[in-house]
Chains A and B, each alone.
Chain A
Amino acid sequence: MASFDGFEYEVVVVGSGAGGGMAAHILTEAGAKVLMLEAGRDYDPYEETPMFNTNDEAPLRGVSTSDKNFGYYDATVDGGWQVPGEPYTTAEGTEFLWWRARMLGGRTNHFGRITPRFNARDFKPFSQDGMGTDWPLDYEEVGPWYDQCEKLIGVSGANVGNEDIPDSAEGVLQPPAAPRVYEILCEVAAKKLGIPLIPMRRAVLTRAIDEREACFNATECGRGCSIGAAFQTTTSLLPWANKTGNLKIVTDAMVKEVHLNDEGMASGVTFVNRKNKEDVRVDASVVILAASACETARLMLNSKSEMFPTGIANSSGQVGRNLMDSTGSDISGYIPALRGRPKYNEDGLAGNHIFIPWWDYEGQDNGTLKFKRGYHFEFGGGFGAPGMGIADGVDGYGKSAKEAVRFNYGSNFYMALRGEMVENENCYCEIDDKVKDKWGIPVLKFHWKWSQQEIDQAEHGMEWGGKIIEAMGGVVTSPKRTGEEAILAGGQIIHEVGTTRMGDDPKTSVTNKWGQTWDVKNLYVMDGSVFVSNPHKNCTLTILTLAMKNATYLAQQLNGDVS
């Protein structure tokens, strides 16, 4: 047993977001003692969430600024597209955005809680279309873990037999919320084009679980949820793990290196105490990295030794490679017939109640589509809380301008494509040996280039998004764009994964299917780094599910109850 500050433990977990939170929960429940190191500050959503605060109470009516990139009330602490004093660099010609939060719970405090699961073909992309790489897992193996994870974190949705988003086991999902007017209109219109809409899967409770209450149909989930309805580790996994007495969390602890002993095993880590800038070295029998895909890769690449001159557990050279994000492109318009419509409360669960899953597997398989991987549409509109942009596009002045704003309220509509990219050799991160952050830690340099696959996909999405808006009787207001113009920057959708992918072959992958690194047996990766592909299904449910599965495996190893 190692010890820190009077606490005895065997496992160090780096990061307290989706991956780290789940690992800590499973391990502490199984009786393992865990020391969790989190770079950000302590954060208490029960105290700090601005649940009902209105825009007029916030500076600048709550709009986004360079300090709070997603608006004043967004839960992100000490982060955003930039973290002061902790830069990253990009290669020439690369456009890549990296969203970070420095807080207990990481980005789970404010994520959108959209949690669709992968289907069988998502695990076998190469077998399907000859591109990318197959996972060392299949749906048969992961499916029951999805059920268990969804049940634990609480996911609302419904089993409708859709091929893109498989049904969960009976009794797993909580009831979905009734669709709103603009959602029903979209459903009716899309149906005419042969496109289905199905209930959204979201980690938002519609039924209470223990002390976590059911969503009360108000307030934005991006601010965090002080009643625990929207899943975040700080109101669930972390307090549960704390309750076992087997967890100690150290915040303001920025891990900078994983140490290797003479036997080639991880012996512990060194972190910078952000409060006094001192280095602290702690021992461990097992080290779990879950600092988010790019931070985990950075930490490994920065942990050099004689045995691993290019970074710990990097004999394959794959650490930092195969970086993937979701594709994204948005199209907006308005629906004239929805102007002046009867008012009612459209807050609901804050996000989509229904959405458009990928619908054209046939076209993908028979080659009528130019691209091989699917996407889904999230969309929005409705009677939201008025913001400073509410009069954009209005002309004139006086009563008529005021009337125009009132009349148009609730008639805007946008669609957000979120799609799968195929891994490619131009998308990766590495250490920039010329730049260090304020803690003296070398920073990441990103390389990024979309392939024609993604560009064709975005073009298709903008075409079909336009068709859907028009079928709703709407007018598209975004300019017509090619796929290349419409596709957003790498990293911008904040679903980065793949930097220490799992596999069956130590030569082409960093970990086995348990997230255990091939090279260093007591070093595990339990965040999105282990993804082999990045299906269009928002990644966090799968991060949580794999962490649950792999931490369970590790707990069995630790308890010696594995044959």
Chain B
Amino acid sequence: MSNNYQSKISRRDGIKWLGSLASVVVIGGVTVACDGPAPEAIPVDPSSHWPDLKFEPITGPKYGQDPKVAEPTRPWSLTFTSAQRNLVAQLCDILCPADEGGPSANDVGVPEVVDEWISAPYSSQQQDRVLILNGLQWLDDEANRRFGRAFLAASNDEQIAILDDIAFKAQASKPEFIHAVQFFDKLRTLVLGGYFTSPEGVEDIGYMGNVPIMGDYPGPTEEAMAHLEEVITNLPA
């Protein structure tokens, strides 16, 4: 499956890369995202069939300000319906398939990560839940409009045809897709985030830390230094 999607995306140099980190605050070396206010809701354009369903926020048990951090537990239950869970699993396969670098998001249990996320009784996760659940509904509605069947019942090509209209941030300029683009952006962050934070994803990306090194910190490897020297040679004058 993986190769089907590659050609559609150019490797954007990404002036916007990490643009969302503009709000990062670092305190004593700790990077903290400060809980912002809820983003302003964008009105639904008549050209859009965004369902705009309202959901009572989940308010169940939180872990509180003094959880046993060395033995983490999650005090809230998962809330996806099985239909929602299946749809997210399919999107996980499309968003983050297995490739040479590592397994798929499904292989490492990302649907449960997304479920845990949208089921968490915190305001920012509850905002995400509204977006995700509406987005899942929108995908079914869109598939029904275009192909007369639910998203999961649509063919692979049909599914991709829909996602190709909402998988790029620039497509948010189209009023009929703006909410769906937002939804997909959020889902992508959660799915790829869930994947790369899993043990397999950590290995895939090549994070080599979190292992004790006795004695002095060795600094960059020879290979890393050689690369750096080249970067330095090519610095702007």
Q: Which residues of A are at the interface with B, using a C-beta cutoff of 8 A?
A: 41, 47-50, 52-61, 63-80, 84, 110-114, 175, 177-181, 184-185, 188-189, 192, 206, 216-223, 328, 330, 332-334, 336-338, 341-353, 378, 380, 383-409, 412, 414, 416, 470-473, 475, 477-479, 488, 492-494, 538
The CA-CA distance from A262 to B223 in the complex, in Å, is 74
Set of chain A residues within 8 Å of B53, measured between Cβ atoms:
none
Q: Are A389 and B189 in contact (CB under 8 A)?
A: yes
Set of chain B residues within 8 Å of A471, measured between Cβ atoms:
235-236
Near A by CB (< 8 A), chain B positions 15-43 give 15-22, 24-35
If A332-B21, A383-B208, A386-B197 touch, whether A397 touches B30 (CB-CB below 8 Å) is no
If A221-B29, A390-B192 touch, whether A399 touches B3 (CB-CB below 8 Å) is yes
A-B contact pairs, 22 of them (CB 8 A): A59-B63, A59-B116, A65-B124, A70-B27, A112-B27, A178-B217, A184-B220, A188-B235, A216-B213, A334-B17, A349-B217, A385-B207, A385-B210, A391-B196, A393-B20, A393-B21, A396-B9, A403-B101, A408-B14, A473-B236, A477-B18, A494-B28
Set of chain B residues within 8 Å of A55, measured between Cβ atoms:
197
Q: How far is the CB of A30 from chain B (nearest CB, A)?
A: 31
Set of chain A residues within 8 Å of B14, measured between Cβ atoms:
334, 393, 404, 408
The CA-CA distance from A52 to B202 in the complex, in Å, is 14
**Is B174 at the interface (CB under 8 A from chain A)?**
no
Number of B residues whose C-beta is below 8 Å from A?
A: 105
Tally A-B pairs: CB < 8 A.
351
Q: Are A402 and B101 in contact (CB under 8 A)?
A: yes
Residue among B11, B32, B190, B197 with max Cβ neighbours from chain A (10 Å): B197
Residue of B nearest to A341 (CB): B227
Set of chain A residues within 8 Å of B68, measured between Cβ atoms:
48
Set of chain B residues within 8 Å of A494, measured between Cβ atoms:
27-28
Query: Which residue of the partner chain, among A50, A185, A332, contacts B69 with CB atoms under 8 Å?
Result: A50
If A72-B69, A178-B218 touch, whether A392 touches B205 (CB-CB below 8 Å) is no
Set of chain B residues within 8 Å of A223, measured between Cβ atoms:
69
Residue of B nearest to A379 (CB): B26
Q: How far is the CB of A364 from chain B (nearest CB, A)?
A: 25
Q: Are A409 and B217 in contact (CB under 8 A)?
A: no
The CA-CA distance from A409 to B5 in the complex, in Å, is 21
Q: How far is the CB of A284 from chain B (nearest CB, A)?
A: 30
**Is B173 at the interface (CB under 8 A from chain A)?**
no
Query: Which residue of the partner chain, among B69, B99, B192, contacts A391 with CB atoms under 8 Å?
Result: B192
Set of chain A residues within 8 Å of B191, measured between Cβ atoms:
391
Set of chain A residues within 8 Å of B89, measured between Cβ atoms:
none
Residues 139-176 of chain B: 1 if any A CB is under 8 Å from the residue's CB, otherwise 0?
A: 00000000000000000000000010001110000000
Q: Are B66 and A77 in contact (CB under 8 A)?
A: yes
- Looking at B44-52, B79-87, B90-98, B130-138, the stretch in contact with chain A turns out to be B90-98
The CA-CA distance from A16 to B208 in the complex, in Å, is 36
Set of chain A residues within 8 Å of B123, measured between Cβ atoms:
66
Q: How far is the CB of A180 from chain B (nearest CB, A)?
A: 6
Q: Are A348 and B217 in contact (CB under 8 A)?
A: yes
If A398-B4, A473-B235 touch, whether A378 touches B29 (CB-CB below 8 Å) is yes
The CA-CA distance from A350 to B29 in the complex, in Å, is 8
**Is B56 at the interface (CB under 8 A from chain A)?**
no
Q: Are B25 and A488 in contact (CB under 8 A)?
A: yes
The CA-CA distance from A219 to B232 in the complex, in Å, is 30
Q: Are B5 and A218 in contact (CB under 8 A)?
A: no
Q: Are B202 and A386 in contact (CB under 8 A)?
A: yes
Residue of A nearest to B198 (CB): A56
